[in-house]
Chain A
Amino acid sequence: MIEVRQLSKTYETPSEKLRVLTDLDLTVAAGETAAIVGPSGCGKSTLLNLLGALDRPTSGSVKIGDQDISTLTEEQAATFRNHSLGFIFQQQHLLPQLTVLENVLVPRLAGDWQEPAAETEQRARQLLEKVGLGQRLSHLPWQLSGGEKLRTAVARALINRPKLILADEPTGSLDPASTDTVADLLLDLNRDQGVTLIVVTHNADLARRMGKTFELRAGKLHPLITDHNRA
């Protein structure tokens, strides 16, 4: 499913070139779950952005399925994200002007979805029902708790029926109880729908619940545990 080879990313700074990722390799099979851990500033989010085609690598390749996303144009990358990926951010980035339901429907705005709008909306409602927000459809983000916001973001990440979900510190701003709820939700999705899940996290408990855990150190990934504690 995911095959990353010789991936490098370098940033320009006023004084020097900052090399964040160096010849990084990663393989995650379809339906697997993986956690990426590491100290702050080690390049976890950079890796996630590269995996999500939000950024371009300095060198190397990122293959998701049969597609090398490092060679996509900006427009192609957007289409790829819109059709194949789900993103979950620590800050959730819910749009404050939209209701919960509308926030979930935002990916549809890309405009080239085959599915009729009414069906998508129906699915959005079902997803929100599933994440426990069935009574909050017309609420605005400021009316939600942190956990509810995250669950909305999860529903939004699933609306396009993604094959891969990339989550960046999804539980970073949640209390332990909510963290567990969200972790359950993500793993349920993985199990029920066969979605591949890659989570960048500092949370050791969450990392442990993933099938694989990698530590990002000195620009490279180091496997810590393989296929353990699957929930």
Chain B
Amino acid sequence: MTARTFITRGLRHYRGAYLGVLLGAALGAMVLLGALFSGDSVKSTLHQIAEQRTGKTTLVLAGGENFFRASLSNSLNRSDSKPETAPVLQLRSQVDTPSGRSTGQVNLFGITPAFWSFAPGDTTPPALDAKSWAINRELARTLDLKPGDSIVLRLGKPGLASRDAPLSGEPEELITVRGTVAQIRDDDAMGRFNLEATQLPAPAVFLPIETLAGAIERNDRANLLLFREPLSTDQATALVRKSAQLADYGLSLQDIPLSAATEIRTDRIFLPTLIEGKLRTLLPSARPVVTYLANTIAANGKETPYSMVTGIDPAAVDFLPDDLAPGQIVLNSWEAEDLAAKPGDTVTLSYYTLGSGNRLVEMSTSLVVHSIVPLAGAAADKLWMPDFPGIAEADNSADWTPGLPLDLTRIREKDETYWDDHRGTPKAFIHPVAAYNMWRNRWGNATSLRLPAGQSDLERQILDTLTPADAGLLIRDLAAESQTAAASPVDIASLFLSMSFFLILAAVALTAMLFRFNVEQRNHESGLLAALGIPPKKILRWRLLEGLVVVTLGSALGTLLAFAYTRGLLLFLESIWNRGGDRLFQFHAAPASILGGLFGFILLMMTTIGFVTRRQAKRSASLRLETGTEEVIRHGKSRARWIAPAAALTGLAALAGSKAMGPQGAFFLAGFSFLVAGLATFLTVLNRSRNSPSNSLSPARLATLNGARRPTRSLVVVGSLAAGLFLVVSVTAFQKHGGGEWQKRPSGSGGFAFWIETTTAVHRGSNADSTADILQLGDQRGQLGDILPFRVGTGDDASCFNLNSVARPRLLATDTAVLEQRGSFTIKTTAPGIEKSWKSLREGDALRAFIDETTLLWVLKKKPGDRIDYTDEQGNSFPVEIAGTLDGTVFQGSFIVDEQRFLERYPSTGGYQLFLADTPGDLTATRGILQKSLTDLGATVTTTTDRLAAFHSVENTYISIFNVLGGLGVILGAAGLGLVTARNLAERRNEFTQLHQLGISRKIIRSLVFRETRQFILWAIGIGLVAAIISILPALPKTGLLVTLGWIAALAALAAMFLLTAASCAWLAYRKSALFRAS
């Protein structure tokens, strides 16, 4: 016989006893590996989604609201390096169906067939035409669409320049485009294409780029250019620069024959300051031209409405006097006559400029007439006025729609005649310095640059000077961005491991306890082996080898179970991060997780088993032969009596220092300390009862003595149960409630009732007090109180709904003065030296931002005072300083910045796409009315209460998972209690028989056993509850005392029920099998 035979025989013979160990190991391994597999699955899913989201795209040239030629792609393809590129025109739209279904925030992708070759999977291009389009699965699911169905796109026509800019034209009506669904693209066939870092599919429509560009009257325009080659951003920039034309920078050259000049013009109304500066450096002879609309030119009690006035360097033109000063004006003869003005008269110019909060303000300036020029030659050149949208194409002055609040009834007959004859010829000329001072704005200073005609190779010179970033065309490393984003800020594996910690611990403790039972049961065997001269180390090794075989088998079983368990966990995660539709998370188990998890768990189990077995092995052979299964207790005074007060003091210190340690750290340390204190007290009481002789023996005394008989078993059972209860109860207390107090301005709702997001950007409109009815609700305006608009800037959603790692949260810019006046939201903390006020966002050298504390702590993992680099419109990096944190607001996942400071960096950002609004009326009714009224804007109206509740639901789902796992731990603890009870009863079979033989009734024996079990239960509930309640004390005022106590009472009752059931089952099982058979 060999040692192997001996071990095999032992395993076979004690298979019943080992079954518990095997199951315990299987459970522990299942939970541990399940946590790791969940992490793997989420990680793998995010990477897969990242791949589907960007396809084979490496880099992207992104213009946003700045368009470039779609044919730039062809130019690139013709270049020497021939990079594979695809132009895309991306817009946002609302999609309606004939059946009345509708959804907003749909991505429209105007594409060429080359786009499909970027797909990670199926690259077969669908046959699309002007009326037959492809959609993705998400849109098909949302609107229940199938091939052949009709859809209608409703979108706002993008302006040439930002609709916020003066003279950018009137916001146009929504345009509608009709088409049919030709194909539904799968996720791996570019159906998931999206530049935004999110795990959720965005609904999308794919149509020919010429169809979409034609619909918005921007033929041959795109705002994305996808690259397939693994180029560096510098290489791509160089390639784009080489193939670019002026049109790609929004520039054009205009011959001005009457002045023998050439003008560099922009299609964005105002020449971007950066481009102006670069071109003036390149072309020193270039002179800025500023042509602007004066609302009124008045003098001598007379006035001329709505006239163009041009600022130009007098030296650049022949007809202006060289000595024209900034405070002077030159009128043309028509205007001089209209005003009966002569040199030396004072003329008042009034005009619109943009004030704070993007409101139009009418300003006026007085200028002295320098001279009068005849309306002839270069002074009568119609080309002084650039093609202002809404003006240039108008037949009559009365038809102007420049996007400014004009009173067109002021236009006289003679004004119309002037328009007919001279169009936008300026009626007055001023010094460029005066023009700059009056009309410069965030989009630029000049409307064009004029330089003498005959510049050789002007276009090439300009193209060689400018970079795509100057025109807001930024090259992004999309592949790298998406892979970085796929590294979720939430480490699911660690999260589940921490949430399963107790369950794993309970499983390990229970398994080790069962193993120990087995070792105890074989004490005689060990004693005999020792007596026969088998070295103790060898006996220990055999025991451990048996344990290793069982634990390995159990862990292997656990691995198989983990596959199913992980799928359950993923379903939980789906409830947080998926909003319906296809299954988001795909199961994945990395070999490293399987092997590492298995090895780690087996090691943990074997270390624990080794610990308990070593203690057994240390006992002498004779003792083991004599005592059998009885636990040998060390006599003398226990250390436990010192541990209890020390641990309690540590717990109190943790609570007292919760501010310094942070609430979470304090909670866990305090909780752990009070649990230890409770268990040490329990042990002390057991020791005392055992060591205190008593003259009388009552059933109660006997029960106490029996409990103290095997203190380790008692401690494991009470400890598991108490820790399980503690976790479940205390974590439940952290459940988030509330959101119902939206009217309170310091609350997370800021006193606003609605969170309104629109697909189409809303512009200030033609009303000077633009925010009064910014949503153009008309008669329904009375349904809402204050409306606070937000500009939605660059960055991604960093809220708990986004699983991707977000380096730069979305910027939300608003008039922070309004928030300050209203006293909305609560600023929780600020960086040192920064005032706790919204005002502080308007100060400082960096762009300052407030953000929800949750996002800062858990997603960004930063602190107030830290800075994050953003890229501005021109591709320059600039810091956003985290000025402070907000307390649980609707803004979770976004940086709140001041609008004016934001516009310094992003002047082209047009319009508002987010609104907070309060209401005097009923929430539900008003929401319905708003949703209906705002259909054209593709608006989604959410109550702030619902938004906050949605955030809370994420945290509460985590807590639910914790509770389920903690609850499993309690059940496991209860099972342990049942096992211990059954085991104790089995081992004491003779004792009960003797009691019975002594005439003690079964009823008394039963009550004795119940007393023993009950004392465990009471101790466990007491220790668990007391530790939980003391530890959560600091959190109680927030979570609502009554709600929390209610939960605790319910859970305690549930736990008690569990435990009693477990004990009863144990009793019944034992009663059936052994006790009375023996008697």
Chain A residues within 8 Å of B, Cβ to Cβ: 12-14, 45-46, 49, 52, 54-56, 74-75, 78-83, 85, 87, 89, 91, 93, 95-98, 102, 105-111, 156, 160
Which of B10, B533, B536 touches A97 (beta carbons < 8 Å)? B10
Say if the beta carbon of B592 comes within 8 Å of chain A. Answer: no
Residues of A within 8 A of B626 (CB): 45
Residues of A within 8 A of B12 (CB): 97
Which of A49, A82, A95 touches B528 (beta carbons < 8 Å)? A95
Residues of A within 8 A of B691 (CB): 14
Which of B524, B532, B537, B620 touches A87 (beta carbons < 8 Å)? B532
Given A12-B635, A14-B691, verify A82-B625 contact (CB < 8 Å).
Answer: no
Closest to B522 in A: A95
- Segment among B1-9, B68-76, B608-616 that sits at the interface with chain A: B1-9
Residues of A within 8 A of B5 (CB): 102
Asked whether B622 lies within 8 Å of A55 as measured between CB atoms, the reply is yes
Residues of A within 8 A of B527 (CB): 93
Shortest Cβ distance from A2 into chain B, in angstroms?
Answer: 17
Residues of A within 8 A of B9 (CB): 95, 97-98, 102
Residues of B within 8 A of A13 (CB): 635
Given A93-B525, A93-B527, A106-B1, verify A14-B635 contact (CB < 8 Å).
Answer: yes
Say if the beta carbon of B1065 comes within 8 Å of chain A. Answer: no
Could you list some 21 contacts between A and B, CB below 8 A?
Answer: A13-B635, A14-B635, A54-B531, A54-B620, A54-B621, A54-B622, A55-B620, A78-B533, A78-B535, A78-B536, A81-B533, A82-B534, A89-B528, A93-B528, A95-B528, A98-B1, A98-B6, A106-B6, A106-B529, A106-B534, A107-B532
CA distance A91 to B536 in the complex (A): 21
Beyond A55-B621, A102-B1, 17 additional contacts (C-beta under 8 Å) are: A45-B626, A52-B531, A79-B533, A81-B531, A82-B533, A82-B534, A87-B532, A91-B524, A93-B524, A93-B525, A93-B625, A102-B5, A106-B528, A108-B1, A109-B1, A109-B6, A109-B534
Say if the beta carbon of B530 comes within 8 Å of chain A. Answer: yes
Closest to A124 in B: B1
Given A54-B620, A75-B535, A102-B9, verify A97-B14 contact (CB < 8 Å).
Answer: yes
Q: Which B residues, 1 to 60, have Cβ-Cβ distances below 8 Å to chain A?
A: 1-3, 5-6, 9-10, 12-14
Asked whether B1 lies within 8 Å of A110 as measured between CB atoms, the reply is no
Chain B residues within 8 Å of A, Cβ to Cβ: 1-3, 5-6, 9-10, 12-14, 524-525, 527-538, 620-622, 625-626, 635, 691
Residues of A within 8 A of B524 (CB): 91, 93
Closest to B14 in A: A97
CA distance A160 to B534 in the complex (A): 12
CA distance A110 to B527 in the complex (A): 14
Residues of B within 8 A of A74 (CB): 535-536
Residues of B within 8 A of A93 (CB): 524-525, 527-528, 531, 625
Residues of B within 8 A of A85 (CB): 533
Shortest Cβ distance from B530 into chain A, in angstroms?
Answer: 7
Asked whether B532 lies within 8 Å of A82 as measured between CB atoms, the reply is yes
CA distance A14 to B634 in the complex (A): 9
CA distance A97 to B12 in the complex (A): 8
Most chain B CB within 10 A, of A54, A91, A107, is at A54
Closest to B3 in A: A109
Closest to A162 in B: B533
Asked whether B534 lies within 8 Å of A78 as measured between CB atoms, the reply is yes
Closest to A82 in B: B533
CA distance A80 to B531 in the complex (A): 10
Residues of B within 8 A of A80 (CB): 533
Shortest Cβ distance from A222 into chain B, in angstroms?
Answer: 24
Which of B10, B535, B621 touches A110 (beta carbons < 8 Å)? B535
Residues of A within 8 A of B13 (CB): 96-97
Residues of A within 8 A of B532 (CB): 81-82, 87, 106-107, 110, 156
Shortest Cβ distance from A13 into chain B, in angstroms?
Answer: 7
Closest to B527 in A: A93
CA distance A106 to B2 in the complex (A): 9
CA distance A83 to B533 in the complex (A): 8
Shortest Cβ distance from B15 into chain A, in angstroms?
Answer: 10
Closest to A12 in B: B635
CA distance A56 to B621 in the complex (A): 11
Shortest Cβ distance from A145 into chain B, in angstroms?
Answer: 20
Residues of B within 8 A of A111 (CB): 3, 538
CA distance A80 to B621 in the complex (A): 14
CA distance A98 to B13 in the complex (A): 9
